[in-house]
Amino acid sequence: MNNCKITVMKMARYDDLIEKYENPIEHACDLKMGQVFVSRGGQKPEGLCDSAWEIMEPFVKELALGRGNFFDGWMKNEKSAMISCNDGFRPVSFYIEVISENMK
């Protein structure tokens, strides 16, 4: 199986939506711009947010299995995907790419 590199590419914060709709919370996200995680054989990397993993897991598993080319040419690199977490107040965009082929 392949290993995949998962990089935090962009982080947004919508304070107007937070103020209007979200109940106050103490802690939302520990991720940092440029932070890198490595999924070994399609497994969730330690320290990656469970909610983000839930969204990206199908893409990581497909890439780990040697597949890709999602949505018939969506990405310039067919062995990659750009996925965002589902936090509507603080979305984070992740770039997922194969970094090693055929790891046993």
**Each residue of 8-62: pLDDT tens digit?**
999 999 999 999 999 988 888 889 999 999 999 999 999 999 999 999 999 999 9
Got the DSSP string for 36-99?
EEEEETTPPPTTS-HHHHHHHHHHHHHHHTT---TTTT-SSSTTEEEEE-S-SSS-EEEEEEEE
The pLDDT confidence band at residue 102, using thresholds 50, 70 and 90, is low
Q: Is the pTM of this model over 0.75?
A: yes
